[in-house]
Chains A and B, each alone.
Chain A
Amino acid sequence: MSLKIAIIGCGKIADAHVEEIRKISSASLVAVCDLEPIMAEQLATRYSVPHWYSDFSRMLDEQQPDVLHITTPPGSHLALVRQALAAGCHVFLEKPVAPQSADVRAILDAAETANRRLTVNYWPNFEEHALALRGLVAKGALGDIVHLESFYGYDLAGEYGTALRRDPNHWVRRLPGQLFQNVLDHALNKIVPYFTGDTPQVQVLAYQAGSGTNMQGGELLDELRVMMRDGDISAYVTFSAHARPVGHHLRVYGTRNTATADFQMRTVTLDRKQGFPSALGRLVPPFKVAKDYFRQGLGNVNHFAHARFHYFHGMHRLLAEFYRSIEENSEPPIPYAEILRVSELMDAIFQQVYPVVTA
């Protein structure tokens, strides 16, 4: 029997959810909902979704979905999750989970109490290369982890940034961490599997670079550097709206080797300890890295040829795993502890960036 899926929140990201849900044969999208009927109608019409609503309770009553995708601004998530759980739905949440970690904890507790599955759209971590990097770490190819560098770039001139620049009342600009909060999940969720302590040290630098972002309604900080330490492991997190090309990568430094996952090129490369002596030890490594790239370039061509190279392919895998966890009554794909740690780190970061707002 196929899972009945519904979506609440018919903004930009809802398109991606619709497209990925439709690729999963065990699921069928039955309805979409938005408080603004025009937005619900346009999404339903463009994708031939059978029903659309502007009344959330009515959608839950009439459609009784198995899974609800929540793609509304994060301030609304806690209330929507509670209502969805009460109606018996499992929940797939768009990031950020909630403005503050207290709400994130409440959301996760509510899901556990209701015995429903919940996960968050941390889709890049379910790309092939991201999983390959986790595999390298798991099998000990890097040795013990010493340091992590997570870089996330963002183009404010692009489609998503434009909406933000033009509208001083945009919901992102009203988040405690403003722009950073809407993107930092993707940088922090790569660190938290390795940061398991309760109180990591966090040191932050944030600023607005130049006037290149042409922002309506005043200043918006758009460059962020975070230095962190948890026991023997340290990490740098960089968010940049100005660096080009727009980068997205994770570099893991181990006591044996160092690996880099590039989320733009979809590759993972390994910087290995050298066995060759002297000058030879400097000659050989570039060829080894070149071989890594060549092999993975070919692998990506293969994925493309088999139609597995979509922008949101990681989301496809995450969704498939999440739906499977519902059908098989197994653990959801992302541990709740990691979801909570991402939000706790965000709290710690934003308390330093915007102390007045978050104090």
Chain B
Amino acid sequence: MKVLVTGAGGFLGVHVVERLLAHGYLEVRCFLRDSSKEEVLRRLADANPSASIEFVHGNLRSRADCARAVEDVEIVFHLAAGLKGSPAELFADSVVSSRNLLEALEARANPAIENTRAVLVSSFGVYGVVPLGRGARITEQTPLESRPELRDPYSFSKLRQEQLFWSHREKFGFELVVLRPGVIYGPGGGAFSNRVGLQIGPVFAHFGGANLLPLSHVRNCAEAIVLAGVHPGANGQVYNVHDDDLPTASVYLRQYRRKVRKIRAVRVPYFLTLGLSSLVESYHRKSKGQLPAILTRYKAAAAWAGNEFQNAKLRGLGWRPLVSTQEGMAETFRFLRSVESNNEPE
């Protein structure tokens, strides 16, 4: 069975390819935008001589590239998405690209669309958490965001991407599995999710406090994607993806400061965060956008009100973390420390 992984050269993509090989899926087509990312995948291919790993370079904004990408594949693991840049860029890279990919699948004669499975890596950002209030438990049944324009453009673009997949599934009848990871972390990834706080000038404003941080180690996340992606019973299902033994945002920050770098951090309690957000929002409105509305009450409530999480549905598929949170954080901080030492002036 041939599978396609879009975004295969990315932080998560490489681990998904590795997990696919580990689970015996040996015919893997890797679709990459950035050819410099091929090297690490080549090493995976060399370590698995019985596997047939194919590389397709292109951009999913191009319909022709999408058509090449989907030829003969039965499962599409769609990881490629815009992570940063302008809102237009995020929509082009996540939503327009997804539509092109889906239309390429639907236009194909073989395999038939109903024998094709799409596995979409969505995001926790699609949930409409604000009306739920503080401490609400996020499950797969939690309603989707109804005011995405009030959220950050990344969450908005991921929501539209997921909605697009469901609407195409309805129309064309392919199989669909959706995974919604929390904060994907690990060596090669970034240091801080917004859920911990924001770097504002020289100070790290620590808004996350005692909130649980829904970490998903990149290997555990990849394992979840592959398990659910190939599970016969997963069609039409959504799975939240995060690890066990979640730390709080403040524990994460404390360990970062101890093991990576002493950053100047100021803890901002939630009521103050809301007050500050009101001020920023009101200044943004009055000044007609002279300073960006990086904080608004809505964004603050979505990011820092604090939630509980559960991964029972994922565990029901037999998923178990390959890396414990303790090991994962230690490994990640060692990596971030090495990056920091390389950046330090000699």
Q: Is A290 an interface residue (CB 8 A)?
A: no
Q: Which of B36, B88, B99 contacts A11 (CB 8 A)?
A: B88
**Segment 92-110 of B: residues with Cβ below 8 Å from A:** 92, 95-96, 99
Whether the pair A304, B290 counts as a contact (CB closer than 8 A) is yes
Task: Tell me which of A112-120, A159-167, A197-205, A243-251 binds B.
Answer: A159-167
The answer, yes or no, to whether A12 is at the interface (CB within 8 Å) is: yes
CB–CB B87/A42 < 8 A: yes
A15 at the interface (CB under 8 A from B): yes
Are B89 and A42 in contact (CB-based, < 8 A)?
Answer: no
Which interface class (under 10, 10 to 19, 20 to 34, 35 or more) fits B?
20 to 34
Residues of B within 8 A of A304 (CB): 290
Complex alpha-carbon distance, A92 and B336, angstroms: 48
1/0 per residue, CB under 8 A from B, across A10-38: the answer is 11101100010011000000000000101
Q: Is the CB of A46 within 8 A of B59?
A: no
Q: Does A330 contact B (CB under 8 A)?
A: no
- Tell me, yes or no, whether A196 is within 8 Å of chain B by CB: no
Question: Are A38 and B96 closer than 8 Å at their CB atoms?
Answer: yes
- Whether the pair A38, B95 counts as a contact (CB closer than 8 A) is yes
A309 within 8 A of B: yes
Residue numbers in A under 8 Å from B89 (CB-CB): 12, 159, 162-163
Interface hit among B127-135, B227-235, B248-256, B281-289: B281-289
Q: Please determine whether A46 and B156 come into contact, CB atoms closer than 8 angstroms.
A: yes
Enumerate chain B residues within 8 angstroms of A169, measured Cβ to Cβ: 59, 61-62
Q: For A46, what are the chain B residues with a Cβ–Cβ distance below 8 Å?
A: 87, 149, 153, 156
B290/A166 in contact, CB under 8 A: no
Option from B59, B87, B96, B289 in Cβ contact (under 8 Å) with A166: B59
With an 8 A cutoff between CB atoms, is B91 at the interface?
Answer: yes
State the Cβ distance, B150 to closest chain A Cβ, in Å: 10
Chain A nearest CB, measured from B200 CB (Å): 18
Q: How far does the Cβ of A104 sit from chain B's closest Cβ, in whole Å?
A: 26
Asked if A63 CB lies within 8 Å of chain B CBs, one says no
Q: In the complex, what residue of chain B is closest to A303 when comparing beta carbons?
A: B290
Q: Is the CB of A45 within 8 A of B290?
A: no
Chain B residues near A162: list those with CB within 8 A: 85, 89
**Is the pair B96, A159 in contact by a Cβ cutoff of 8 Å?**
no
Q: Quick check: is B341 within 8 A (CB to CB) of the other chain? A: no
Task: For residue B223, give the distance in angstroms from its CB to the closest CB of chain A.
Answer: 29
Q: Which residues of B have CB within 8 Å of A38? A: 91, 95-96, 99, 160
Q: Report A-chain residues with C-beta under 8 Å of the C-beta of B33.
A: 166-167, 216
For B290, give its contact among A42, A163, A216, A307 (CB under 8 Å). Answer: A307
Interface of B is mostly: helix
- Say yes or no: A10 contacts B95, CB within 8 Å: no
Query: Once bound together, how far apart are the Cα atoms of A38 and B99, in whole Å?
Result: 9
Does B142 sit within 8 A of A, measured CB to CB?
no
What are the residues of chain B within 8 A of A23 when measuring CB–CB? 288
A214 within 8 A of B: yes
A214-B99 Cα distance, complex, nearest whole Å: 28
Whether B289 pairs with A19 at a CB distance below 8 angstroms is yes
Q: Cβ of B289: which chain A residues have Cβ within 8 Å of it? A: 19, 310
| Partner of B149 from A15, A22, A45, A160 at Cβ < 8 Å | A45
| Chain B residues closer than 8 Å to A145, beta-carbon distance | none
Residues of B within 8 A of A39 (CB): 88, 91-92, 96
Instruction: Note all chain A residues with C-beta closer than 8 A to B286.
Output: 307
Whether B146 sits at the interface, judged by CB under 8 Å, is no
Q: Complex: how many Å from CA A15 to CA B86?
A: 9
B35 at the interface (CB under 8 A from A): yes
**B95: A residues at CB distance < 8 A:** 38, 42
> What residues on B are CB-neighbors of A235 within 8 Å?
none
Q: Known contacts A36-B96, A163-B85, A163-B89; is A309 also within 8 Å of B290 by CB?
A: yes
Closest to A10 in B: B88
Q: Does A43 contact B (CB under 8 A)?
A: yes
B85 touches A310 (CB 8 A): no
Q: Cβ of A43: which chain B residues have Cβ within 8 Å of it? A: 88
B34 interface contact, C-beta 8 A: yes
* Separation of A166 and B156 alpha carbons in the complex (Å): 22
Q: Which residues of B contact A48 (CB under 8 A)?
A: 149
A348 CA to B294 CA in the complex, in Å?
Answer: 44
Q: Which A-chain residue is minimally distant from B90 (CB atoms)?
A: A42
Chain B residues with CB below 8 A from A10, complex form: 88
B34 contact from A12, A14, A22, A216, Cβ within 8 A? A216
A244 vs chain B, min Cβ distance (A): 16
B85 partner residues in chain A, CB cutoff 8 A: 159, 162-163
Complex interface bits, B21-49 against A, C-beta within 8 A gives 1, otherwise 0: 00000000000011110000000000000
A307 touches B288 (CB 8 A): yes
Contacts of A216 in B (CB 8 A): 33-35
Q: Name the residue of chain B whose CB is nearest to the CB of A166.
A: B33
A22 surroundings in chain B (CB, below 8 A):
288
A176 to chain B, nearest CB (A): 22
Q: Mark A204-222, 1 if CB is under 8 A from B, else 0.
A: 0000000000101000000
CA distance A48 to B150 in the complex (A): 11
Known: A42-B87, A45-B149, A48-B149. 17 other contacts (CB 8 A): A11-B92, A12-B89, A15-B86, A19-B289, A23-B288, A38-B91, A38-B96, A39-B88, A39-B91, A39-B96, A166-B59, A167-B33, A214-B36, A216-B34, A216-B35, A304-B290, A307-B288
A-B contacts, 19 listed (Cβ < 8 Å): A15-B86, A19-B288, A38-B91, A38-B160, A39-B88, A39-B92, A42-B157, A42-B160, A45-B148, A45-B149, A46-B153, A46-B156, A159-B85, A166-B34, A166-B59, A168-B59, A169-B61, A309-B290, A310-B289
Which 3 pairs between the two chains have the least Cβ-Cβ distance?
A: A307-B287, A12-B86, A12-B88
Interface residues in chain B, defined as those with a beta carbon under 8 Å from any beta carbon in chain A: 33-36, 59, 61-62, 85-89, 91-92, 95-96, 99, 148-149, 153, 156-157, 160, 286-290
